[in-house]
Chain A
């Protein structure tokens, strides 16, 4: 089992005491499997993704990725896990503004010590970024920036890709193109994918769909 989440809970401080967002989430993801995470706005999808990625700390429960208990790791351990095992794609791209597209794509792979120029070039080619390699993120359109973020996540050959509405900022046509490219690349690398999406179409193309309701998965 690549990812296993048990009885995960998380609440945020509110004006009248803690507001529970996740109340006992259980989830299992096999290596190479794809999964769509759906739910109303504010239901806690991003929260769950962040916890799995070790970006935030849970209040209770366990997350185990590739045999490592995320919930027991310190900051350095979680950073190492993200570096080695996880690729994250955010809605707001999160590129490094002062690095070129090429450097951005290679960045996480470099951090993980797995940089492979041929692989990076292939990804850029597949995502139609070959012309843009020497540009800076601010010189790209939104769709191009998101493709850079996808290439960056995949170039490091992560076992698990976490994507939080990766096409939420794009218009429908661009979103469809980018999503096609991403899915085929993920399948090709054999990574597992956990993706938050509002679109039933997109969700339908993934192996499994789960709904987050009242802090639980169904």
Chain B
């Protein structure tokens, strides 16, 4: 019985392969986009992690020698024997032609600890054949290849002038057998370890910095990208919803017949659920595979290099990790359930007899009206959401309400616009065209909703991403304007550094701070040695007078946006630094890299308030970074890892982001194509039903060719009208992502910029997508044999 029932249900797809294709392809594309964005996200994250690790950015505690720059191998082994999870690094400069290359040798099997405790197991079996390879920044590949026999592989994730390889290769290259320069300490360590001072008295532990400056910024970026992934998925779901709805609509009579022939409703529902499940699993598997292919195509270097160096985990999602597969399948299933729920519910309540069905059809007509009301309510809720409720969840809920409401409202808005045009139209042809277009709306409803969401997502996301890029560049300029960034071992070395570099630099900017509480919030107070460079580079969200002069004079303070928002302190208000010491606020500065509050005061005042604090870290402004670096290394004995070339770091960070932006643009185009695909499928499905509607126009003297042209025009008009709705929706979406969601998640607001040029291009692309989608169905219509058109009249008689 089950087999016969399934065969009957399945036969529908066999007779309507196009519908089956739409369903599977829609679901697969939705899943692919979702998985692709996830892969992109993971890739971006791992690139930053790799960058941070290579740059010695201090995300992990490190052990360095108290004197000199060599750690004996025995010390390392002693630490390992005592149970400490440390990973050895041999680092040193290498001359090749004119280039000065920084070689970083790591112990590949123990690298996992860099990525945290969760990745440890997979790492041990990373491919052996890659252990001889040297992964180098593209700029130095040729130079390196000229001086070594080892295979050199370009990897854009490496910092400039940096090459990473296995420690044994580094030993040979640097000619320092059995030497180590530092040890990286894993975040999670076994319990009950002996003190490091007793096991390795010659090493000092340098603490990790609380959080890398770029961390929070990238986290915010990822959050926004995830929102984008969900949106792309929503676009796919609309397509699937359309396909499932159509299939169920067409199978309604069959389901009734099945029931009269003795299949119970419960069994039919079960069979349909099984069928959907099977389709979702197939589509999900296809989608995950496509998402993988997508990510691999968009990010070829990731697959090629990071994977080889780090093994499975850093390349992360690009490995066919079972969890990733499962989450892709899960999302496909969830999508099918979401899209099928309505149709399922309809079938469950459908009466067995066709006679009673008429009342039921009337009821579903009334649903249209309800949809309008629901749309208005949802958009209203979205508008009030940010006002009424706080919290990240409320933000996302508002976002969902806005998008859903707008999608539901779209058919009504389009109908209104067309009706308006119809009333205004002069020619009878135009009138007929507009009226006929209105009649097509119900059939194209879901495809147009998908197009709306795709366009809005694109506008929203490109606004978000571009605003993000502008902000990020500005932030880097502001925060990383010094040329070299130096971290000394202790305050004595810090003082020595200030003496040595005093007449070799344009400015020495000590980085000194205390952790404290300000206005009831956790915060850091920084003492800044005010230099012209600050005034040139820092931009204020809000300011009061000549900020830096007042700060230098100890008369005012600068606070960051986080503190300003959390404590509601703005220029003119006072901020209390310690009992009895309150300063007016002169400026609020955007501080995208920081989870906690910050107060910046002048150095003299800082020294008076906190006489015990002396600087260990410095920013150096110089015209000759390389020369200065050499001086620091020879005269102060600083190791490579203690000196960071900020210009290179900045260029590198921008480059990493740049690639993420490129991929985002590619995903944008894909989302649009998916929406275009939805339009194509809807038009193809509608084309069959169109014949009876077009026959009278044909009989009244319009050629089939001109009818076909009108079909294309219709798609373009509808796409253009949809664009009119999508533009404000997309901007609202971006606004909510940047100013509501981001503030809720991270405490700071990303400024929003507008990019009319981008929107124009996007609009052009959308209309083009609609045009392309309409071409084929229109051609088919234009070629409908006259006999088919005549049949319409014959059947009526």
Which residue numbers of A lie inside 8 Å of B, CB to CB? 46, 50, 53, 55-56, 75-76, 78-84, 86, 88, 90, 92, 94-99, 103, 107-108, 110-113, 136, 152
Contacts and interface: CB of A to CB of B under 8 A. Distances in A.
Contacts of B388: none
Contacts of A113: 1
Interface stretch (B8-16, B364-372, B417-425, B628-636): B8-16
A81 B259 CA distance: 11
A101 B181 CA distance: 82
Given A55-B353, A96-B11, A113-B1, A80 B257 contact: no
A99 B8 contact: yes
A108 B12 contact: no
B552 to A, nearest CB: 83
B260 A94 contact: yes
Interface of B: 1, 3-5, 7-8, 11-12, 14-16, 253-254, 256-267, 352-355
B197 to A, nearest CB: 77
A98 B254 contact: yes
Given A50-B353, A55-B353, A103-B11, A108 B257 contact: no
B267 A96 contact: no
A79 B270 CA distance: 15
Nearest to A149: B257
Contacts of A81: 262
Pick the most buried of A50, A103, A107: most chain B CB atoms within 10 A of its CB.
Answer: A107
B352 A83 contact: no
Contacts of B8: 96, 98-99, 107
Given A83-B263, A103-B7, A107-B261, 17 more contacts: A46-B355, A55-B260, A75-B264, A75-B265, A75-B266, A79-B264, A80-B264, A86-B262, A90-B260, A92-B354, A94-B257, A98-B8, A98-B15, A98-B254, A99-B7, A111-B1, A112-B262
Contacts of A136: 15
Contact of A98 (B12, B262, B266): B12
Pick the most buried of A50, A53, A79: most chain B CB atoms within 10 A of its CB.
Answer: A79
B257 A79 contact: no
Nearest to B352: A55
A86 to B, nearest CB: 8
B667 to A, nearest CB: 38
A78 B265 CA distance: 10
Contacts, number: 83
A42 to B, nearest CB: 12
Nearest to A92: B354
Nearest to A87: B261
22 contacts: A55-B260, A56-B352, A75-B265, A76-B265, A76-B267, A78-B264, A79-B259, A79-B263, A79-B267, A80-B262, A82-B260, A82-B262, A86-B262, A94-B253, A98-B254, A99-B11, A107-B261, A111-B262, A111-B263, A112-B1, A112-B262, A113-B1
Contacts of A86: 262
Nearest to B265: A75
Given A76-B266, A113-B1, A98 B11 contact: yes
A96 B257 contact: yes
Contacts of B12: 98
Interface SS of B by simple majority: helix
Q: Which 8 A-B pairs have the closest CB atoms?
A: A83-B262, A79-B264, A110-B4, A98-B11, A76-B264, A82-B262, A98-B15, A98-B12
Nearest to B261: A108
A53 B352 CA distance: 12
A108 B7 CA distance: 12
Nearest to B266: A76
A92 B8 CA distance: 19
A82 B11 contact: no
A97 B14 CA distance: 11
A84 B262 CA distance: 8
Contacts of A110: 1, 3-4
A107 B9 CA distance: 12
A108 B262 contact: yes
Nearest to B259: A79
Nearest to A84: B262
B432 to A, nearest CB: 31
A111 to B, nearest CB: 5
B353 A111 contact: no
Contacts of A56: 352-353
Contacts of A92: 354
A97 B353 CA distance: 18
A128 B257 CA distance: 24
A97 B15 contact: yes
Contacts of A99: 7-8, 11
B357 to A, nearest CB: 13
A92 to B, nearest CB: 8
Contacts of A90: 260
Nearest to B1: A111
Contacts of B253: 94, 97
Nearest to B13: A98
Contacts of B267: 76, 79
A88 B260 contact: yes
Contacts of B260: 53, 55, 82, 88, 90, 94
Contacts of B7: 99, 103
Pick the most buried of B4, B257, B262, B354: most chain A CB atoms within 10 A of its CB.
Answer: B262
Nearest to A56: B353
Contacts of A78: 264
Nearest to B354: A92
A111 B260 CA distance: 12
Given A75-B264, A108-B262, A83 B1 contact: yes
Nearest to A99: B11
Contact of A111 (B4, B15, B254, B355): B4
Contacts of A84: 262
A99 B9 CA distance: 9
Nearest to A13: B359
A50 B254 CA distance: 18
